[in-house]
């Protein structure tokens, strides 16, 4: 893929002193949102794209920090001059969502009522709350309407929700590797992950900060499990197969197969830095997401609320959110006569395909965004 990185970037913090009432009934009296921007907002303020993050993502979407050259944004491969999210043309905004653990107000930031981390007292957040908070950030940046909102997985759900909550403020929604709601199996995986964290003796009912510990065992298990669902069976087979770590069976519970080494490494790495309460909140936001509830479960009626153009992309090897789930969204849009493009990629990385660089997949995004009239 041609194009370059955006290079050195900076993050910013926007403080909001107006309370936000959440879907769960909870209220945040004030909050911070950490965000980054790449490219330049044009005079008409018509070229802004919002990038929404998935479960473990954040505001550092592209580029690197001047003092941390190896700290590359999580979707750097798609953003920059000449890349599909072309910063010569677009003004890109990424943020850390409410409840996150990368600087925005969340369970690990101080509860103004106590001065201590919110912990388990942080209210549940829903996708619709994130979209509301993102709309306030747009106000702050002077953006009346996004040229596009884009995201993969849980990020795609935010793009979808934008098209429903603020039909006049989003011109295009790019919904990648996503679903209109979780299946029972999706919820089941989330619940096992949550139970791993909730039953970790170091969880302390969510107030582990005060105990000077973190539920790393539970978080590690949650991430190992998550990783299985992010990868395709085939890719896992091709990459790891039954290859042994040390050439022969050791007949103990240390790492025996390469796949075990990979999973444990991923689990350890994640558990070392991610906040467990945030992980819990994100999985609950996934479970709750079901915009068709607005209309008695009828997704077609819900999508009648939208005005945007849509690009929906799925991956044949994604068994977490299969192409069939994306096609539910497409069908509901088509039934309403909405302008919708759909692409199915055969990228072999399962659910994680949406993060990968691939000429076909990126070409689809590129072509769609190039055709938007600013």
Active site residues: 153, 318, 351
Q: Is residue 44 involved in binding its own copies (CB under 8 A)?
A: no
Distance CA 279, CA 260 (A): 22
Q: Which is nearer to its own copies, 86 or 129 (CB)?
A: 129
Per-residue binder mask for its own copies (CB under 8 A), 212-231, x = binder: -----x--xx--xx-xx--x
Burial, 244: exposed, middle or buried (Cβ in 10 Å; 0-12, 13-18, 19+)? middle
Q: Is residue 264 involved in binding its own copies (CB under 8 A)?
A: yes
Q: Which is nearer to its own copies, 124 or 137 (CB)?
A: 124
Q: Is residue 259 involved in binding its own copies (CB under 8 A)?
A: yes
Q: Which of 45, 111, 240, 245 binds its own copies (CB under 8 A)?
A: 240
Stretch that binds its own copies, among 33-41, 73-81, 141-149, 261-269 (CB under 8 A): 261-269
Q: How many residues bind its own copies (CB under 8 A)?
A: 53
Q: Supply the minimum distance, in Å, between the C-beta of residue 224 and its own copies.
A: 5
Residues of span 110-149 touching its own copies by CB under 8 A = 123-124
Distance CA 29, CA 18 (A): 7
Q: Is residue 82 involved in binding its own copies (CB under 8 A)?
A: no
Q: Is residue 325 involved in binding its own copies (CB under 8 A)?
A: no
Q: Of 174, 198, 165, whose CA–CA distance to 283 is shortest?
A: 198
Q: Supply the minimum distance, in Å, between the C-beta of residue 33 and its own copies.
A: 22
Q: Is residue 29 involved in binding its own copies (CB under 8 A)?
A: no
How big is the CA angle at 105 (ends 101 and 109), to the nearest 5 degrees?
70
Stretch that binds its own copies, among 39-47, 162-170, 185-193, 363-371 (CB under 8 A): 185-193
Q: Is residue 247 involved in binding its own copies (CB under 8 A)?
A: no
Q: Which of 32, 121, 191, 295 binds its own copies (CB under 8 A)?
A: 191
Whole-angstrom CA distances from 31 to 98, 135, 284 are 8, 14, 20
Q: Which of 247, 249, 296, 373 binds its own copies (CB under 8 A)?
A: 249
Residues of span 277-296 touching its own copies by CB under 8 A = 280, 284, 287-288, 290
235 Cβ neighbours under 8 A, 6+ residues apart: 317, 348, 349, 350
313 Cβ neighbours under 8 A, 6+ residues apart: 174, 175, 176, 177, 326, 342, 343, 344, 345, 354, 361, 364, 365
Q: Is residue 18 involved in binding its own copies (CB under 8 A)?
A: no
Q: Is residue 209 involved in binding its own copies (CB under 8 A)?
A: no
Q: Supply the minimum distance, in Å, between the C-beta of residue 232 and its own copies.
A: 9
Q: Is residue 196 involved in binding its own copies (CB under 8 A)?
A: yes
| Torsion sign across C-alpha atoms 111, 112, 113, 116 | positive
Q: Is residue 374 involved in binding its own copies (CB under 8 A)?
A: no
339 Cβ neighbours under 8 A, 6+ residues apart: 309, 310
Q: Supply the minimum distance, in Å, between the C-beta of residue 59 and its own copies.
A: 25
In the complex, which residues of this chain contact its own copies (CB under 8 A)?
24-26, 123-124, 181-185, 187-189, 191-192, 194-196, 198-201, 217, 220-221, 224-225, 227-228, 231, 233, 236-237, 239-242, 249, 251-253, 256-257, 259-260, 263-264, 267, 280, 284, 287-288, 290
């Amino acid at each position: 893929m041609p194009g370059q990185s955006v290079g050195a970037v900076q993050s910013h913090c926007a403080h909001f002193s107006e309370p936000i009432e959440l879907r769960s009934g909870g209220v945040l009296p004030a909050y911070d949102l950490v965000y980054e921007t790449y490219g330049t907002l044009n005079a008409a303020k018509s070229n802004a794209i919002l990038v929404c993050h998935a479960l473990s993502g954040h505001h550092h979407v592209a580029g690197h920090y001047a003092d941390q050259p190896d700290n590359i944004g999580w979707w750097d491969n798609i953003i920059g001059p000449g890349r599909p999210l072309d910063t010569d043309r677009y003004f890109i905004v990424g943020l850390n969502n409410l409840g996150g653990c990368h600087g925005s107000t969340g369970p690990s930031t101080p509860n103004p009522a106590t001065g201590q981390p919110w912990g388990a007292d942080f209210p549940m957040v829903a996708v619709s709350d994130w979209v509301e908070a993102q709309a306030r950030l747009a106000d702050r940046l002077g953006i009346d309407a996004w040229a596009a909102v884009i995201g993969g997985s849980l990020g795609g759900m935010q793009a979808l929700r934008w098209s429903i909550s603020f039909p006049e403020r989003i011109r295009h929604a790019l919904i990648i590797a996503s679903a209109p709601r979780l299946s029972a199996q999706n919820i089941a995986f989330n619940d096992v992950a949550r139970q791993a964290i909730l039953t970790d003796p170091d969880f302390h009912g969510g107030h582990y900060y005060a105990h000077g510990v973190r539920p790393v065992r539970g978080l590690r298990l949650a991430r190992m499990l998550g990783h299985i669902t992010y990868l395709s069976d085939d890719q896992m087979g091709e990459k790891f197969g039954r290859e042994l770590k040390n050439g022969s069976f050791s007949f103990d519970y240390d790492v025996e197969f390469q796949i075990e080494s990979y999973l444990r490494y991923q689990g350890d790495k994640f558990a070392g830095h991610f906040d467990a309460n945030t992980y819990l909140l994100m999985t609950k936001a996934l479970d709750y997401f079901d915009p068709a509830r607005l209309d008695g479960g009828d997704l077609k009626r819900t999508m009648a609320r939208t005005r945007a153009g849509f690009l929906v992309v799925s991956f044949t090897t994604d068994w977490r959110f299969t192409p069939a789930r994306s096609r539910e969204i497409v069908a509901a849009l088509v039934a309403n006569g909405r302008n919708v493009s759909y692409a199915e990629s055969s990228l072999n990385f399962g659910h994680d395909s949406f993060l990968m660089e691939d000429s076909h997949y990126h070409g689809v995004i590129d072509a769609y965004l190039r055709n938007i009239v600013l």
